[in-house]
Amino acid sequence: MFLGKDIIGIPVITVNDGRSIGRAKDIYLSADCQTVAGIFLGTEGLFSRKSFLVRSEDITTIGQDAILVKNADVIHEEGNLVETEETWLRRDELQGRPVDTSGGTKVGKIGDVLIDGEGNVLGFTLGNVYVSGPIARNRSISIHTVLDVGQEDGAMTIDLQRAEEQELSMA
């Protein structure tokens, strides 16, 4: 299990020739926040800034020390991929997002995303917690408790009962 911040800065290396093609600057999540959709490699250019990324289908492994990709041809310019602007969500856009229940109880704010080596989102850590009980002790919520990621209103909505029964913990 990795925190999103643990992936930032690690090299992206090709499997076919072992060449480094950059470093991960951020991660993109799918619109439903279930999986890693891609890795943001950063921007280049002085006057005409271009952002580059690698899509998840081109990633073979996300490890502690490196992200392995098929080959150097997997780098795409962000503006050339329609799905990035319409459905992908960058990790830095999630940080600080309010978390509440469908009844309106404020639970906390997103701290970071928890992912596994295959790029599946396991849940989210909470930077701020406004409730007591298991959520406050774990300081995290499982992806299975999320009802709405907050694309419409900017607040993630969770099922409080399921969140309190979760077994996801950073401890």
Assess contact for 35 and 56: CB atoms under 8 A: yes
Residues 6+ apart with CB under 8 A from 116: 1, 2, 122
Kindly state the DSSP code that residue 120 receives in the 8-state scheme.
B
Predicted confidence at residue 45, as pLDDT, reads 59
Q: Which residues of 127-163 are buried (b: 16+ CB within 10 A; e: fewer)?
A: eebebeeebeebbbbbbebbeebbeeeebbbbbbeeb
Give the pLDDT confidence of 39-55 residue by residue, as tens digits: 888 776 566 667 788 88
Token pair 């404020």 is found at 106
Of 157, 48, 41, which is closest to residue 90 (Cα–Cα)?
41
pLDDT band for position 171 (cuts 50, 70, 90): very low
CA nearest neighbour of 62 among 135, 144, 119: 119
Q: Is the pLDDT of residue 152 over 90?
A: no
Distances (CA, A) of 123 to 5, 32, 42, 102, 105: 14, 12, 25, 18, 19
Residue ranges of the chain that CATH labels 2.30.30: 2-91, 95-164
What was the pLDDT predicted at 168?
Answer: 62
> What are 114-129's pLDDT values in tens digits?
998 788 999 999 999 9
- The CATH code for residues 2-91 is 2.30.30
Residue 28 has pLDDT above 70, yes or no: yes
The CATH code for residues 95-164 is 2.30.30
pTM confidence score: 0.83
- Over residues 7-34, the mean pLDDT reads 91
Which tens digits make up the pLDDT trace of 58-106? 898 888 899 999 888 888 876 666 565 567 888 888 899 999 998 889 9
Which one-letter amino acid corresponds to residue 151? Q
Q: Which tokens sit at 88?
A: 């992908």
Beta carbons of 4 and 112 less than 8 angstroms apart: yes
Q: What is the mean pLDDT of residues 158-165?
A: 88
Cα dihedral across residues 123, 21, 54, 46: positive or negative: positive
Query: CA-CA distance, 61 to 38, in Å (whole number)?
Result: 12
